[in-house]
Structure 1
Amino acid sequence: MESKGGQGVLTSNLPPVPITEDSVYYIAIKGSLHANDCSVFGLGQEEIRALCKKFPGSGTSVVNGITIKSNVLDAINALAQLGYKLVSSTGETEITWTLVREI
C-alpha cells in the first residue's frame, strides 16, 4: 500500500513509532518576516511568563494564544532556549511554524 501522494513509499515498510500521547508537546507560532510582532499558540503559563519577561509588552491575548512583541525569528530562538525544536512551516507572506518539545 502506497502512502498518499504516491511517492513510492510503502507504509508497511515504515517502522512503528513508540510515542505515547504525553511524550511530546506541540505549539505554533504565526508571523511575518517583515513584522515586529507574532502570535504564539499552545504555550503553558510558565512559558508565557518567560517570554513576556524577555519581550516587554508581550502577552496581549489573541484567540487561543498570545502576541509576542518581537520579530518571529527572535521569538523562535527564544522558544528554542525553552527546549522547542522547529518541525515544519507553511505559508508565504504570513507563515506558521510548528515547534515541538519532548516532555
Structure 2
Amino acid sequence: METKGSQNILTSNLSNIPIAEDGVIYIAIKGSLHANDSSVFGLRHEEIKAIIQKFPGSGSNVVNGVTIKANALQAINALCQLGYKVICSTGETEITWTLQRDI
C-alpha cells in the first residue's frame, strides 16, 4: 500500500543496511520506575544468559525482546556492567532507555 509522497522500497535493498554502524550496538530497555520488571530488546544470546543468571526468573519472551525480573534501574546498572551506556531516554510513566556498546 502506498500513500501520497511515499517511496516504494524493495526489501532486497534492506539487506545492504549494516546492523551496527560506526562500531556500536544499540539496545533498548522499557520499564517503569514503579514496576519490578522491565523488558530489554536487542541483546545477544550470551548477554541474555548473563542477565538471566543475575536476575533469576528473567527470560520470558516478549515481542522482539526478553523480560528482566528487576526494576529498570537495576537492569540498566547490570547492562552497564556488560559495557552498555545510556545515551537517551523518552517517556513519562513508562520509559524507554536507549543504550549503546562499542564493538
TM-score category by the smaller chain? 0.7 to 0.9
CA distance in 1, matches of 2:36, 2:26: 23
Three-state SS of the structure 2 residue aligned to 1:90 is strand
Percent sequence identity is 74
Structure 1 counterpart of 2:41? 41
Structure 2 counterpart of 1:80? 80
CA distance in 2, matches of 1:21, 1:97: 19
Number of residues of Structure 1 aligned to a counterpart in Structure 2: 84
Cα offset, 1:88, TM superposition: 0.2
- RMSD of aligned residue pairs (Cα, Å): 1.1
TM-score scaled by length of structure 1:
0.80
Unaligned runs of 5+ in 1: 1-19
Cα offset, 1:55, TM superposition: 0.1
CA distance in 2, matches of 1:64, 1:92: 22
TM-score scaled by length of structure 2:
0.80
Cα offset, 1:71, TM superposition: 0.5
What are the within-5 Å matches in structure 2 for residues 7-46 of structure 1?
A: 21=21, 23-46=23-46
Letter of the 2:42 counterpart: G
What are the within-5 Å matches in structure 2 for residues 34-73 of structure 1?
A: 34-73=34-73
Structure 2 counterpart of 1:101? 101
CA distance in 2, matches of 1:95, 1:59: 20
Unaligned runs of 5+ in 2: 1-19
Letter of the 2:72 counterpart: V
Three-state SS of the structure 1 residue aligned to 2:59 is coil
Q: Deviations over 1:46-91 (max 9, x none)?
A: 0000000000000000000000000000000000000000000000
